[in-house]
A = this chain, B = another copy of it.
Amino acid sequence: MELIDIYAPVKSELVKVEEKLQSIGKVDFPHLAELVSYSLTSTGKMIRPALTFLSGKFFKYEKNREVIIGMASAIEVMHIATLVHDDAIDHSDTRRGRTTVYKLWGEEQAVLLGDYLFAKAGQLTADTGNLRVVRKFSSTLETISHGEINQAYNSFNLNQSLDDYYARIARKTAALFSLSTESGSVLSEAPEKSVKTLMDYAYNLGIGFQIVDDILDFTGTEEQLGKPVGSDLRQGTLTLPSFMILEKYPEDNPVKKLCKNRGGQDEINRAVVIIKNSTIVKECYDTAQEYCDKAKAALRFLPEIESRTCLEAIADFVMKRNK
């Protein structure tokens, strides 16, 4: 199943999210309007808002539809805000094949725009009128920032374990996936047990999603990735494939050398070759598959409606996507 088919039951809601995002750009200050509209023009997969809607569909969805659209929009805006800041601090020129806000308007504007978008996401969340969701929104932003600070602090650091990696991607990625399903289900008045089930699904999906992202950073083409190959390693970020190089070739390997020299394109190229020509890709995919299987297994507690099929299909899509 392609994303367009998976999203079919929530297609009109996703259009509403895009409209809401564009309406945020209607500000009475042309420069800011341009910044906001540019950054919020959807080019991503919209997985997080889709998760929010599909989670809501199991419960009292119709009567809460407008509120859930607001929350799904808040989550997408928060996600984009974190990307705008990431690009600013990583000095990334392209993202999803598009020139970044950082590259077009500079670091200063990118940092301030990110703050503006966090504020907008906070407002959309507050507009739900649901304090549990409001609390979780802020604690999720805390979790993500914690993960990002950890990642930046540990760049080029060989003294870290695979556990550090998993803790980091749980914070950086799984937390927001989890907020997506938690908010969708809470706002549609789901029983607590079902909320937990959907959070469990999203958490595991998020870990699987991030592992695949980390594989693609080595195995994808620049065109597929929308950014240069090996970007993680260039930033000194050790991900699962890098950890496996370190484990399999403890004596002499490009990741070790790159960390010691704090950079080096030759080492990145060598790492790409090793990863592509070893069992590392398969082993990483197997690990990602375990998480996606766990995600799907969690869904067994939910009724077999169309939404469940879609959530299962998202877990399959995460595994086979190439961008």
Contact = CB atoms under 8 A, between A and B. Distances in A.
A interface, size bucket: 35 or more
A274 interface: no
Given A107-B89, A127-B135, A149 B112 contact: yes
Given A85-B111, A152-B112, A145 B119 contact: yes
Nearest to A137: B122
Given A137-B122, A138-B122, A145 B109 contact: no
Nearest to A89: B108
Given A111-B111, A112-B149, A122-B141, 18 more contacts: A31-B149, A32-B150, A32-B153, A82-B115, A85-B111, A85-B112, A85-B115, A89-B107, A89-B111, A108-B152, A115-B141, A116-B146, A119-B145, A123-B135, A123-B139, A123-B142, A126-B134, A129-B131
Closest 9 A/B residue pairs (Cβ): A122-B138, A119-B141, A119-B142, A116-B145, A89-B108, A123-B138, A115-B145, A126-B135, A112-B149
A35 B134 CA distance: 26
Nearest to A122: B138
A95 interface: no
A257 B92 CA distance: 34
Contacts of A118: 115, 118, 141
B109 A88 contact: no
A65 interface: no
A196 B150 CA distance: 43
Contacts of A82: 115
A129 B134 CA distance: 10
A148 interface: yes
A120 interface: yes
Given A115-B145, A127-B135, A153 B109 contact: yes
A303 B144 CA distance: 46
Of A114, A122, A139, most buried by chain B (CB within 10 Å of CB) is: A122
Interface of A is mostly: helix
Interface of A: 27, 29, 31-32, 35, 82, 85, 88-89, 107-109, 111-116, 118-120, 122-123, 125-127, 129, 131, 134-135, 137-139, 141-142, 144-146, 148-150, 152-153
Contacts of A131: 126, 129, 131, 134
25 contacts: A27-B146, A29-B149, A31-B149, A35-B149, A82-B115, A88-B111, A108-B152, A109-B149, A109-B152, A112-B152, A115-B118, A115-B141, A118-B118, A119-B138, A119-B139, A119-B141, A119-B145, A120-B142, A122-B141, A123-B138, A123-B139, A126-B134, A126-B138, A127-B135, A131-B131
Contacts of A148: 112, 115
Nearest to A31: B153
A145 to B, nearest CB: 4
Contact of A32 (B29, B85, B135, B146): B146
Contacts of A29: 146, 149-150
A115 B113 CA distance: 12
